[in-house]
Amino acid sequence: MDEVQFWRLAEQARATGGIDCDEHHDTLLDRLKALPPEDIIVFDRIFGVLLRRAYRRDLKEAYGTMTGSGSDDGFTDFRSWLIGQGRAVYEKALANPDSLVEVDLLGDEDAKCEQLTYAALHAYEEKTGQEMPDHARMPITTLGQKLTDEELLRAMPKLCQKYGCYSEED
């Protein structure tokens, strides 16, 4: 399992499972259970690396703008959702969070998918009957200063226009 295989598997699950988070998770879970346990562990580690890469202030501001929420738990679920959208959407969002305006949402729950965070963990446990070794995620750094309304509008004009700018409460 490498990052190319990771993305292929994640994108196949998205294509089959659709936009519904539960169906997406179930499809990914079934595909992961078909892999050897070592590959499931590597998939989980890659997922964790991608979660950490997306732990950025500008993406949290995009999440808040898209959903009207600034919660830390919700932001984790958003980053899982973002990974679930596939490599092109993920990388484009990291390069320019305003690109997320191109992703159609039916409601704020569509931009969160907590279940994907645990798909590999569940697959490993179902396949082996044991807990995944070393599942603890590496700690992440702080986000830094929140953006002012002016900075947010400058950084993500399309998202602000579509959803209205969201400025997180202190």
* 29-70 confidence digits (pLDDT tens): 999 999 999 999 999 999 999 999 999 989 998 998 888 887
pTM for this structure?
A: 0.80
Instruction: Tell whether 36 is covered by a domain.
Output: yes
**Within-domain flag for 58:** yes
d(CA 167, CA 170): 9
CB neighbour list of residue 22: distance below 8 Å, 6 or more residues apart: 115
The parent domain of residue 42 ranges over 3-163
* Residue 168 is assigned to a structural domain of this protein: no
106 confidence band (pLDDT: 50, 70, 90): low
CA distance 42 to 47: 8
Q: Is residue 44 part of a domain?
A: yes
In a domain, 59, yes or no: yes
In a domain, 170, yes or no: no
Q: Check if the beta carbon of residue 13 is closer than 8 Å to that of residue 123.
A: no
> Residue 34 falls within a domain, yes or no?
yes
Cα 34 to the chain's mean position, in Å? 23
pLDDT at 133 over 90: no
Residue 169 belongs to some domain of the structure? no
How many structural domains is the chain composed of?
Answer: 1
Identify the residue whose tokens are 């690396």.
49
